[in-house]
Amino acid sequence: MRTIHERLELDLKLGGYSPHTCRIYLLYARLFAKYFKRSPEEMGADEIREYLLYVIERRRASRSTVRQIRAALSFLYAITLQRPVEVEHIPVMRRQRRLPQVLSGTEVEALFHAVASPKYRAILMAQYGGGLRIGEACRLQVEGIDSKRMLIRVRAGKGGKDRYTILSARLLHELRAYWAISRPHPWLFPGNTKEGHASPDSVRVVFRQVLGASGINKKVTPHVLRHCFATHLLESGKDISFVKVVLGHGSLRATEVYAHVSIDHISRTVSPLDLLGTPSAAVLG
């Protein structure tokens, strides 16, 4: 007879959830049971509501964390315990749409110069050069680098989706120099994870170290490089639909936030009022 933990883990695997999501859902299920010191089978909607209020009011959890906890408990009760009624009427906390923090091109350049390790410099450059999430960069495979078509194949991105994105010529040069040193295979960036690729946590450690060394005082994580990729592409004039595709977003709405971040692009745009009475006014008809 399997335990609830084992059944939940099996259901998550059968559902095709990523290893990261499996770990997160299993963690929140354990913390839920630990809080009440009871089995989830003995609890229901009232305890779920009480626990969510606890993490909101006492733990001061972020909105995204609360949404993750609710999703984990919803899966636990609706799928594993086959009691969907327990979560049917529990509200989903609304997303708080904040503008993402971005770095300037000068700051990104300084960041790369501060990374001594060819491996970690290449990982961070892949994030910025192709708009990759940290996990996507760590899980890149050697065969995913298509130097003939200048594409990067991203396998099992968010939602388990594959996609293609840009392969920067500068990144390719960096990867070739890195390849000459280490000859990795099949993972482009080997590491100590169970799967054998580089750990996102190790990248975060390196990122924090070089952030201060590069003179950047902003409170950012490696994910800022993906934000920079999208924002800088839009500022260079790329169509938002193209940016949506290379980021792997499911809807244009998720990409539109970057249009609001392109403050520099907006500030460089000449108002039609300033064109009146000039030769350029002809374009106004």
Task: Establish whether 158 is a catalytic residue.
Answer: yes
For residue 145, what is the enclosing H or E element?
strand 145-146
> Catalytic: which of 7, 49, 153, 249?
249
> Catalytic: which of 158, 164, 204, 265?
158
- Report helix, strand or coil for 128: helix
Q: Which structure tokens are listed for 148?
A: 């003939």
Helices (H), 183-285: 200-213, 224-235, 240-247, 252-261, 263-267, 272-275
Task: Establish whether 226 is a catalytic residue.
Answer: yes
> Catalytic: which of 7, 30, 223, 265?
223
Dihedral, 211, 217, 219, 224 alpha carbons, nearest 10: -60
> Catalytic: which of 70, 121, 133, 163?
133
Task: Establish whether 173 is a catalytic residue.
Answer: no
Query: Residue 215: which region, alpha, beta or left (left: phi > 0; alpha: psi -120 to 50)?
Result: left
Do 155 and 139 touch, CB atoms closer than 8 A?
yes
Do 172 and 140 touch, CB atoms closer than 8 A?
no
> Catalytic: which of 226, 227, 232, 244?
226
Task: Establish whether 70 is a catalytic residue.
Answer: no
Task: Establish whether 249 is a catalytic residue.
Answer: yes
Q: Which residues pair with 163 in a beta bridge?
A: 154
Task: Establish whether 133 is a catalytic residue.
Answer: yes
DSSP 190: B
Query: For the chain, what's the residue count?
Result: 285
First to last CA, the chain: 77
Which residues are part of the catalytic machinery? 133, 158, 223, 226, 249, 258
